Structure 1
């Protein structure tokens, strides 16, 4: 099988972004995963597992890969019966949450028999899954597993800037840096924060400033504002000024 061009995939930015490669970024956190996705023909036994904590982009990367390759995507918790043949391959998201290990074993065996690729996405490496079936356990241990780490500062900064640009929000670099220091290091959290700020800016008919951001994100569990640092900020403008 001919290998696809290098550097074909990378971490998707917005949660609802298209799978256009222009919408993806790559850094050290996902470079190994991207490299393996570029070498499908080299996957031992035709299987690969990408694993990492929630929010590092496994699902987005897997779905982007599936869209480009025209593979189907199956949600792990929904895998119960044997799926129909899938020309090309299958991406199994939340693979460590399959309710019936027998169904997962059958999927692994069927993909091998049909020479279909299988990409597993999970929080832990397959070798660490608590599996009682000996046959399934041996196949999972033999699956090449690649970790995706927490995105680096550069990728997170680019992600936040891209999310603002997609909504045509002009936010000063110092405000973006201030936000990055207070938001979770997850794509989902950044997307939710930008959506909240967009709504607040539209309602206030004002640009995104620290006071507006603090008011829009106050009480949201994803916002880790520091009250002592907040006291050092300039006084907030009167409410009327933001309307």
Structure 2
């Protein structure tokens, strides 16, 4: 049977507080984000690998603080001036991707100073600590390295299960009974892998016009795990 043409129409993940399960893996992060008044100089860096839930946590914080949202790679000095509102709040996502972009690095340094002058909370998200970003601007590098950090820990079994349930629901996929419980002990504790797996299951079931089965899930999990391991292995 020929593969069906699939269209990526996107989906709307649920990003509210009620959609976020707090477990020992992320309880300290949530507690830190709930107390911005306690942040040193009103600034915090949220660290976590791809797919760990940084966007979800930052979205909760932004909704509850009326924060303005900005992708770091598109940041400019002019935008920085508009973002740093007196007694306001700003989220800069993927701050590590500003490295090597002269205008974005200058703008982040400008935003850092403006937020201090205007008593504006500043939350940055990144996959890696600042020492690994490759920043060109020395003054920005020193300030980022001194920033307070809260880090998302690898998910425990409870969190991985809950994330899989949410990912299936976000894509309106119906998981057969017992599938998620079967997957969890066979997966690495990696929320990025979980996201890629559910996306691949969504695409494959539509393209092949086949049902969502344990065999299909196991085959795709093995494929994605092998691809990730090959990417992570040094040449």
Under a length normalisation based on structure 2, what TM-score does the superposition of the two structures give?
Answer: 0.73
Q: Which residue of 1 aligns with 2:163?
A: 159
Using the TM superposition, give the Cα deviation of residue 165 of structure 1 relative to its aligned residue in structure 2, in angstroms: 4.4
Unaligned runs of 5+ in 1: 1-14, 225-243
Using the TM superposition, give the Cα deviation of residue 199 of structure 1 relative to its aligned residue in structure 2, in angstroms: 3.1
Q: Which residue of 2 aligns with 1:122?
A: 126
Task: List structure 1 runs of 4+ shifted beyond 4 angstroms.
Answer: none
Structure 1 residues 102 and 160 mapped into 2: Cα distance closer, same or farther (>3 Å)?
same
* Structure showing the higher helix proportion among its residues: 2
SS where residue 78 of structure 2 aligns?
coil
Higher relative contact order by CA 8 Å / sep ≥ 6: 1 or 2? 2
Q: Is the 8 A contact 1:82 1:107 kept in 2?
A: no
Q: Is the 8 A contact 2:155 2:189 kept in 1?
A: no
Q: Is the 8 A contact 1:93 1:120 kept in 2?
A: yes
Q: Is the 8 A contact 2:201 2:217 kept in 1?
A: no
Between structure 1 and structure 2, the one with the greater Rg is 1
- Aligned pair 1:186/2:182, yes or no? no
- Aligned pair 1:145/2:129, yes or no? no
Structure 1 residues 71 and 146 mapped into 2: Cα distance closer, same or farther (>3 Å)?
same
What is the aligned residue count? Answer: 205
Partner Cα distance (1:122, 1:170) in 2: 32
Unaligned runs of 5+ in 2: 1-10, 227-235
Q: Which residue of 2 aligns with 1:222?
A: 224
Q: Is the 8 A contact 1:131 1:137 kept in 2?
A: yes
Under a length normalisation based on structure 1, what TM-score does the superposition of the two structures give?
Answer: 0.71
SS where residue 224 of structure 2 aligns?
coil
